[in-house]
Amino acid sequence: MEGRMPLIGDKFPEMRVQTTQGMKSIPGDYQGKWIVLFSHPADFTPVCTTEFVAFQNRYEDFKKLNTELIGLSVDQVFSHIKWVQWIKEELNIEIKFPIIADTGGVSDKLGLIHPGKGTNTVRAVFFIDPSGTIRAMLYYPQELGRNFDEILRMIKAFQVADKNKVAMPADWPNNSLINDGVIVPPATDVEAAEKRKGQYECYDWWFCHKKL
């Protein structure tokens, strides 16, 4: 796995890391919780600062979804601490989630070093479920800040999908065809296909949906 992005469905590699809140084992210390682990290019940069504020503004929303936030960059821990202090003093925002001070080992395992940008980490986001499995990844260039409402939406969608064994339509919960409905898994045999239209709302036997 070293030197490349891991794949969806892989187990997140167990690692012991230094953070602004002490040493952490990831994902071991977070067993039973969802994790959103996100890398940023560098401390004391404007886009990254707006991103950290955006994450903190949604911190309680993530906590309600049993989700922990963890930041990361190839900066030393004292740089993280000073930056967090600056955000609190200048922007009146207290960053409550830990930030990994990566010496390069974490980024090497996860393939986070941009090949054309020296040692800076890209803007990656890993969605890790309570069993430690990577469920999704987002990958942004340095010049583009992330959409944090989408990150929160993805956590909500994963939890609804897992609990109800359904799939989520485009733009859920505001889909243009089925609104906040969810997609029923397709029938796998003729008999089930014939029964579908009587069980659910359907455009056809292979496209059925329901309200939760």
Active-site positions read 48
Give the distance from CA 13 to its chain's centroid. 16
Cα–Cα dist 26/169, whole Å: 31
Residue type, 118: G
State the residue for tokens 């329901």: 210
SS3 label, residue 193: helix
- Cα–Cα distance for residue pair 27/22, rounded to 1 Å: 15
User: Judging by beta carbons within 10 Å of its beta carbon (0-12, 13-18, 19+), is residue 114 exposed, middle or buried?
Assistant: middle
- Helices 46-57 and 77-91 cross at an angle (nearest 10°) of 70
Beta carbons of 125 and 37 less than 8 angstroms apart = yes
Tell me how far apart the terminal alpha carbons of the chain are, to the nearest angstrom: 39
User: CA 118, 26, 151: angle at the middle one, nearest 5?
Assistant: 70
